Structure 1
Amino acid sequence: MHKFKDNHKILFRLSALGDLILTTGVIDFWAEKYGWTFSVITKQQYAAPLENNPHITEIIRLNKEDLGDLAWITKAGRLSNKYEGCELIDLHSTLRSRILSQRWHGPVSRYKKFSLERRAFKLTGSEKLEKILESKPVTVRYASAIEKNLPAPENLLPHIYLTDDEKEDALAKMAHKKLSKGFIALHPYATHPDKSWPREYWIELINQLDAKGLQWAVIGKDTNELNVDKAEWNFTNKFSLRQTCALLSEAKYLVTGDSGPMHLAAGVGTPVIAMFGPTSRAWGFYPAGKNDKILESDLKCRPCSLHGKSNCSKNRECLKSIHPVSILKLL
């Protein structure tokens, strides 16, 4: 067992990418307010945005083998022994985090997930519930694990700490492709098909950007790469997470759906234009920066799911009704 200082906390959040990035805002807040440092428990594949964070002394990276049912019980016991006496801050509130909490040798704090309120809103469409949920984005809900008086969303914005080398590398890659600062970053991909803006809309948007003399670059990962005329500005599947963050830091805007890169851009201070279809701001996973914009349709069937996994029976009308001209007006 190691001896840790009283101001060192263990923070638990596994997935998904955007959810983990959103923890960085509350980490900054607690570090400044209380002088805390953190060990963060998360999945290996999402850990990169936490690197170089001055408040995180250790990233505990879990792989698939760690997370099997019996394996996790064993791993949870080892973590509890190693960090005995430290406070565990559970920012996930899942079965795995509950198992860890049961085995934990120290205080445990857990955030308010607003699960009942979200379910009630999905069933009723209550405007009152919608306003309550939208006023408490996930960053504020995270803060509820510790804070009685909840901070404002603008005090909890995500923060990804890039190194000077990463920034210089991004500029070198841009120079090689004759891409200038202030380009428009485009993320045309989605984990779930129902969250995808039509590909023909992306091509139309690119054509309009070209007509206006605005530079653009496609970022993200997908097995079905978007085909564009200027292949040199298509960085699909070419960059790591941190390289993507560095590139995004030089963009004027990121245009995207409700996605992980939406939070990557927010974490490096780049304004986001995000299109929400099957999901909703009420779920809490939205960019809250003063220059961020969210486009969504006023359809009674929205939101139809928490993560966009539902099979749409209306041919994705919610996203098809958002046309490229709506985005061009915001640039």
Structure 2
Amino acid sequence: MNTSTLENRIISNITLIKNNISIAQIKADENLRFNTSILDWRIFNNVSALNQSQVATTTILQLLKINISSMNHTIVDGLSNIHQNISFIDNTISILANNVSSISTNISALDNRIIDNISILQNNAYANSAAIQQYIQQNATVLDWRIFYNISKLNISLQNNISEIKESILKQTQIIEYQNNKISNLIEQINCLSNQSYSMINGSCIQVTCVIQGQKNINGTCQCTILNSVVQAGQCICPINSNVIDTSCECYISLSEVLRDFSKSYINFNFIVIVLQSQKLAKSGFWDSVATSLNEEIVKVCNIQLFNAIIIKRPNLLTNTL
């Protein structure tokens, strides 16, 4: 079944190829006839152009004959002119020959004069050379002295000029440094005066107006007037659990309140309250180091610098220990 199908396909393909060959031959014949007609037309046009060219060539030959005859007449006239010019040249040559002989005579006379003048110049040169040498020898000493004098004078002038230049540079440098200092001071004054809180006093920029509430200018520095106060929210305030007493912040929690509060919070712990008689010890952190060495925890009621007691809490009893 497959073989018969393949044969049919081959037969159909062969038939198709034959048809295509026939069509191609027909198209080739048509193209050949078309191209042949175009070629015939081009050959005809070229033959016509050649015929026209032959006519033009004949016309050119006739013009050439006319020009050649005209040229023959011109050549004849030119030859006669040449003969006339040749005779004129011959006459000129004879005149030049006479002039040459006269020139030769003048050259001989000139040579004699040149020889005489050369002898005179040589004699004058010898005499002048001796005189020049004598003049040079006489003036050499004077010239050497003048050169030495001028060089010495020039050296002195240069040294003076160098000293003056150095002094001028030094003065200009000092002036520049002075101007720079003035400019720096002026800039410092401008920067100082641009801030309303500062003013120039005795050449120094000093803060005269304190912007933080509760501060006062003390020796050019804004400081809180209340001792132990801190700056917060743009004003001097006392720390937590403290109030202003006289001129300083002090803890307002009493010792009994502290013990009561701690006994409520740490009911299962024992506490030792160490009262510090010296404020310096509290500030120096002396009791902090003691508590650290005992491996104990310090509970601060308020700022250790403000309250003269610290509280040590321990889970163990301290009665027998201390």
TM-score calculated relative to the size of structure 2: 0.18
Q: Taking CA–CA contacts closer than 8 Å with sequence separation of 6 or more, which of the two structures ends up with the larger relative contact order?
A: 1
TM-score calculated relative to the size of structure 1: 0.17
Greater helix content: 2
